[in-house]
Amino acid sequence: MPVALGNDTRNVAILNMDEVVLADRRAESVTITSPSGSVAIRPAPIAFSLQPNRPNPFNPSTTISYEVPQRTHVTLRIYNVIGQEIIRLVDKVQPT
């Protein structure tokens, strides 16, 4: 999973005492538990990602998920089958 170190980023893996990988760059999240409580850590995306909508486009509502690896301007538009823009869902600067 990417870990920021100042101006540099390194990929790390979390292993147990038997050297079994518990989390690596494919992990979606890691929870660290300490005597003072637990903290959920979600790694930063390493690339732009647009997930398929779900459950599917024929339901009354759908969810479209995306990730950006850095602060950037995002525009997300929906088009009909003949290429006409139907709606602009997102058009703003998004954080990581």
**What is the residue range of 63's domain?**
49-94
Is the pTM here over 0.95, yes or no? Answer: no
51 and 63 in contact (C-beta within 8 Å)?
A: no
Is residue 1 predicted with pLDDT exceeding 50?
A: no
**Are residue 86 and residue 55 in the same domain, yes or no?**
yes
Residue 47 or 33, more confident: 47
Q: What is the mean pLDDT of residues 17-33?
A: 59
The pLDDT of residue 88: 92
**Are residue 54 and residue 89 in the same domain, yes or no?**
yes
**Are residue 59 and residue 86 in the same domain, yes or no?**
yes
Please provide the size of the chain in residues: 96
Grade residue 5 by pLDDT with cuts at 50, 70 and 90: very low
Number of separate domains in the chain: 2
**Are residue 55 and residue 80 in the same domain, yes or no?**
yes
**Are residue 58 and residue 85 in the same domain, yes or no?**
yes
Question: What is the SS3 assignment for 84?
Answer: coil
Q: Where are the extended beta strands (E) located within 1-96? A: 2-5, 8-11, 14-15, 21-23, 30-34, 37-41, 49-50, 66-67, 72-79, 85-94
